[in-house]
Chains A and B, each alone.
Chain A
């Protein structure tokens, strides 16, 4: 596996104003994540894993230090450049799926391709391929309210993967799923990671997810507590 750095974080600090003082959510974060990794930010609630994931996803900016994502310093990007990075290179999977409820499964998965202005025939093929990866080709016309939680998360994975991004950021992707669905979803992501060499970065405290991670970055009170690597189970 090619292991060139896709994420490089140097002395990152993130604090939020809280009344007259500041709350520091992340401090002294130094981290490198290579291409093709299947890595998780692990820690209890409030440890700063979602904040770090948001900064890597260029949805937020560091207070100090630098976060390099695909050779872009997130804190220095303009709103347009930041959006461009997310549009072209990043895929997001959220705990509560964040599907567009009035759109069909097909339209949800098609959405990132519309933003990339990909032509209709190619778009259709890419959407159907993505739905095939997650086993939902029979649900193209369904709308999210008609799907189970597991199916919704599979749609979200298809939407994140359809444009074959370099990096997928998954924030507690199994938190709303039962064990069987969680394993199904995680296996799907492991397969996509292997087949497409897409880097996956999770934020989780779910043991089911942790079992699948090849590298675990433990966060505690906004700091990296330890990093452990293990072979995939």
Chain B
């Protein structure tokens, strides 16, 4: 085997430009695949990190009636916070959120929204809730940038808010926009108005109640609590995993095409080699190789393209990938339009596993593609091969 590697190396280096053309095409596949996978991993990491920081913390308890996909459940989705969470809430490691359906009337238009009551002093989320701790002539409120843009609302704007209290009675008041925040998590921004929890409880006559309880520590033991459903962080981020999986499947088509192009070049080289190098094949056999060993030599030779490609790819790919990890890739269209947790600039994340698995996949595929046409050698007549006769 060592001899086969040595000979394959000599043959490839000796073949000159033909080898390097294949190697460059294959190295391009390496770099692009690692970069694209890195972007997806970065997106996954970033989306989960943004969701953690803006929406789900280390996990949540949901009121048993709460269904985020059914706004009509909100009317029932609230109850007194269990006593056992008092300390955690007191220490700021758990943030209760009360959610109520409402309507706002910006510039005479009507917009259904979810009113979220949240403690202005919380620091579990990146939401600028401290801006709710403002003395104003109306109820202080913060909204997301996407909603502000669609409703043409700005800081200090007043807008009428209508809601129903616990008894089902409609009421209305003015809110003032004290801050507009921007996040990469659309579900935090879309049709949501954040006001102080104490005020919302008073408005709705739901003292001491909440819809969601978000805790900080994802590792802590979480007991089952009657009337509340524990949602661990992995469950809450499962949608991101599913989305990334879908995207990965989509991107696989692209990798496959890229790899097919590179493999076509290798396959073509192998087929040509077997036809053009018949005399050489015959010579190997005359000098003491079995036909199987010649098949092995040609397979190693083809597969070695991928090793060379990994080295060449590393030469220009490592600086490129490192630079990309530093500056990121800015999506050429508005990321907010995608309707999922996605930053405008994605920073690729590479892991050793990603690099090793990509290299292994390409090496294995190249080896198979090299072996396939080489099998023909096993059927060759060595005396005909020695004369260079096409068989």
Contacts and interface: CB of A to CB of B under 8 A. Distances in A.
A96 B285 CA distance: 16
Given A79-B290, A114-B6, A102 B14 contact: yes
Interface size class of B (residues with CB under 8 A): 20 to 34
Given A98-B282, A117-B3, A103 B287 contact: no
A59 B286 contact: yes
B289 interface: yes
B285 A103 contact: no
A88 B288 contact: yes
Given A59-B386, A96-B279, A98-B283, A115 B10 contact: no
B191 to A, nearest CB: 69
Interface in B281-340: 282-283, 285-293
A94 interface: yes
B383 interface: yes
A81 to B, nearest CB: 10
B151 interface: no
A227 interface: no
B383 A59 contact: yes
Contacts of B6: 114
Interface residues of A, number: 31
B291 to A, nearest CB: 7
A79 B290 CA distance: 6
B280 interface: yes
Contacts of B293: 83
Interface in A105-132: 107, 111-112, 114-117
Contacts of A54: 383
Which among A88, A111, A116 has the greatest number of chain B C-beta atoms within 10 A?
A111
A115 B288 contact: yes
A117 B3 CA distance: 8
A79 B291 contact: yes
Given A59-B286, A87-B287, A111-B287, A102 B10 contact: yes
A38 to B, nearest CB: 21
Given A83-B289, A94-B386, 19 more contacts: A50-B383, A59-B285, A59-B382, A59-B386, A60-B382, A79-B290, A79-B292, A83-B293, A86-B287, A87-B288, A94-B283, A96-B388, A98-B280, A100-B280, A101-B14, A102-B13, A103-B14, A114-B6, A159-B287
**10 residue pairs, one from A and one from B, having the closest CB atoms:** A102-B14, A87-B288, A98-B283, A83-B290, A92-B286, A115-B288, A86-B288, A54-B383, A59-B382, A79-B290
